[in-house]
Amino acid sequence: MFPVLFRIGGFTVTSYGVMLVLAFIGAGIVVAREFKRRGWDPGTGQDVVLAALLGGLVGSKLYWALSEWRLLLADPTGILFSRGGFTYYGGLVGGIVCVILLLRWRKLPLGEAVNAVTPAVPVGYMLGRVGCFLVGDDYGRPTDLPWGVAFPAGSPPTTVPVHPTQIYEILLTLPIFLLLMWQLRKSPPPWFVFWEFLVLAGIERFVVEFWRLNPQIALGLTAAQWISIGLALVGIAGMAIAARESAATPALRRSAG
């Protein structure tokens, strides 16, 4: 574990903070390169990442605050402006909303632009999970497997070896990124890559949750697993609609000709 990289006077540089910065830099590179390949302004790709950062931070905090509504009612200012309490799904939704608004404002073809942006999400997620591993956050259940890891200075600390679910998520997310990048080269229908990501990300998180410590809320599943199921179902429906509309478009053009 390397929660703190170094200190300069009273200023502390944490490994999580550094990895978070690298996550957005990496995502920005992916978006800028894809925009350039399509003949769009690569600078807009950097703006997309900034929108995702701002929307992600706000969405993540709001999701956590609403899930802890009793604490929110007791101390709204303290909860909303605390340093902790960020969640993946809240950040994902907030980031998506802000990015779509920016793309519409820049008058790019929305479905194609969303496809181009989507592979940046798993890149940022993988780098962010490296930060979680370095600070000992979001780990899993105790295990006696040889790759179990103890986080004595984690959040919370544990001296018992646990599943390094941060690593599990990195390993499961890498093929998602590679598949999405390959899919972009095949000229998929508008929105198709985004819907595909929802399906794959939902499956990934659903599986990893079996090794996580999150409490079950219904039918033996955690809140994250139920959200994952919802995302996957929405993604499947979206993929079907995008494929159907793409197949119908040439027919409409032929009939109009």
pLDDT tens figures, 92-150 = 788 888 999 999 998 899 999 999 999 999 999 999 899 889 988 889 999 999 999 99
Place of tokens 């300069």: 8
Instruction: With cut-offs at 50, 70 and 90, classify the pLDDT of residue 86.
Output: low
**Has residue 169 been placed in a domain?**
yes
Percent of the chain with pLDDT over 90: 50
Report the distance separating Cα 169 and Cα 183, nearest Å. 21
**Has residue 129 been placed in a domain?**
yes
Contact 160, 211 (CB under 8 A): no
pTM: 0.84
Enter the DSSP assignment of 144: -
Residue 120: which domain range? 4-40+108-197
Report the distance separating Cα 222 and Cα 209, nearest Å. 7
Residue 20, pLDDT above cutoff 80: yes
Q: How many helices (H) and strands (E) does the chain have?
A: 10, 6
**Has residue 16 been placed in a domain?**
yes
Given its phi and psi angles, is residue 51 left (phi above 0), alpha (psi -120 to 50 degrees) or beta?
alpha
**Has residue 249 been placed in a domain?**
no
pLDDT at 57: 78
Instruction: With cut-offs at 50, 70 and 90, classify the pLDDT of residue 173.
Output: very high
**Has residue 145 been placed in a domain?**
yes
Domain count of the chain? 1
**Has residue 171 been placed in a domain?**
yes
Q: What are phi and psi of 85, to 5 degrees?
A: 85, 35
Report the distance separating Cα 173 and Cα 213, nearest Å. 20
**Has residue 202 been placed in a domain?**
no
